Structure 1
């Protein structure tokens, strides 16, 4: 039946054209944004996963910054330890020289005092972002320092942080109290008791070494110098161990930093597989829809013109 009130062909053509235009709009949005799933309306499950993982990646970016800060702090501490080892080596050389007969101990002590001042300067200046792992006083006590190493999310969605920990008591070179050097701690200030050495009689003896920073040989006997040498050697061993520990921690930080960077890249790629648009596919689809749109417009035009053919029946 032909009707001038209802053009069924035009209605059908218009419906098809609307569907084509809607598909074209969605395809154009994907091409312009680069996302197949841009909002929850596109795919709620994928959008939710992508949003969560992007948030986690932002947290991992902060973790990477924290690892960089930790690496800088350990680098400074390591540099201070190795520099101090060189200075203490010189003190050991001076003590050896002072043990020779006829050496002016007062002049040697002046050199040792300068070296002690250098050790104090190294320890005080080895600070990064307010953290000093080799110089401690009441305002900067020794203790366990934590470096944020990773951000974790378990299967239940619970989040947590992994930390790398280090006790600065192991690397503390100088410990100060309200009155001066504190002989209860610090590799260079700690009092060392029962250090064995060979005395002037060739016997094995023991005594108390007051610390590298408290060495004073102006009135020292041969036995005193021998005890100081043994004490300095023990301090060097402790400094070497501390430098090795910090070096190992620094290596761990570098490994963790590389892992976090790789993990962030993997998460980015995983999210991309869920929500990114395939531009080759979308461009092909757009071309096909443009062709369908042109055909739809043509079909609608033909349907609208068909009603005018009725006029010929009344001529």
Structure 2
């Protein structure tokens, strides 16, 4: 039956044309934007995931900037400590020269003074963007290293960089190490000696003038022990004994303590031993040990002010102090080098992670341009056919005119 009022063919053709036009419009949108999911209407779940990941990528940019800034700051600090180590080595050569006779001690002293001033200049200038990690002004600083997402929550992680205090001022000598310790003179609060295999060394402590917060550092082979004097030590009936016990406990807790290789003995039963510890080397080879006292508030290189080369014996004693100071800066350089390497690795990781996330976002929302191009050609043909089909369907009612002629 042919109806004048209802043209079923035209309606079918019109719906087909509308569908083709909608698909064609969507395909043209994908070509113009390059995305198959450009808004939440197209695919709410995929769009939400992509936006969350895009916010993470933006966060990674801030992380990369923070890591770059942190790496530069630590690099400056490392370079400064390495330079100071070299300068201390220069001072050591002058001290070594002064241990001999028939030397010009005045000129050597002037050179040491000049080198000490140069060290202070290097430490003061070792800042990046106003942050100095080597002059004692910064205890530690955090470098933003990552944004971690877990169960929908985001948290920031950081790499902590510890500062050092290579200031050369503020030192007050106390002659903490007693006469039983090798390399001690009235002008020095440091010592260095060597213990042969199965040999011993007595370290005597005179804590009569120390204050809470003062530190005693021992280097036992390749291990470092630091003990900070407490208020309880100072207030004890025998401050010598209290500090000796604290130092012994620090050695046993801070080192890879193995009594078969290293033993630390303390005997308070006799007055002669109540203020000293005896270290025995059982490692099978000789061991270098050294010590350095530092009063609270003084910089780690403040003992440079105690360097004395006025005589051969004084210069010999000063060798112990300079050796301790060199060990201090070497440790600082190693620490900065380690954290700088860690920051560099993290920076590369974050860069690669950002690229991977961007690639993941692309796989979710980017249009396949080859497929989209082919679909566009097909839809354009379908549009032409649908248009022609609608035109044919619309001409159908005109056939009714022949019935009225």
The normalised TM-score by structure 1 is: 0.86
Is the contact between residue 75 and residue 250 of structure 1 (CA under 8 Å) also seen in structure 2?
Answer: yes
SS in 1 for 2:156: strand
What's the counterpart of residue 245 of structure 1? 335
| Corresponding residue pairs, total | 294
| Residue 183 of structure 1: aligned partner | 171
The aligned residue for residue 68 of structure 1 is 68
Contact 1:217 1:225 in 2 (8 A): yes
Residues 63-142 of structure 1 mapped to structure 2, 5 A cutoff: 63-136=63-136, 140=137, 142=138
1:149 corresponds to 2:142: no
Classify 1:63/1:192 alpha carbon distance in 2 versus 1 (closer, same or farther; 3 Å): farther
CA contact (8 A) 1:209 1:227 kept: no
- SS state at 1:172 partner: coil
Deviation at 1:209, TM superposition (A): 7.4
What secondary structure does 1:277 align onto? coil
1:196 has 2:196 as partner? no
Q: What is the root-mean-square deviation in Å for CA atoms of aligned residues? A: 2.4
What is residue 255 of structure 2 aligned with on the other side?
A: none
Residue ranges of structure 2 left out of the alignment (5+ in a row): 186-192, 194-200, 207-291, 295-301
2:309 matches 1:214: no
Cα distance change, pair 196–70 in 1 and its aligned pair in 2 (3 A): farther
Q: Distance in 2 between matches of 1:53 and 1:300?
A: 46
* Cα distance in structure 2, aligned partners of 1:165 and 1:78: 15
5 Å-filtered alignment, 1:14-29, equals 14-29=14-29
Question: Helix, strand or coil: the match of 2:111?
Answer: helix
Structure 1 pair 6/133, CA: closer, same or farther in 2 (3 Å)? same
Secondary structure class of the residue paired with 1:256: helix
SS at match of 1:196: coil
2:154 — aligned with what? Answer: 159
The 5-angstrom pairing of residues 226-237 of structure 1 reads 226-237=316-327
Give the Å deviation of 1:222: 2.6
- Alpha-carbon separation, structure 2, partners of 1:37 and 1:25: 14
Q: What 5-or-longer segments of structure 1 have no aligned partner?
A: 176-180, 185-189
1:303 & 1:42 partners in 2: Cα distance?
Answer: 33
Q: Which residue of 2 aligns with 1:178?
A: none
Structure 1 CA distance for aligned equivalents of residues 306 and 184 of structure 2 = 19
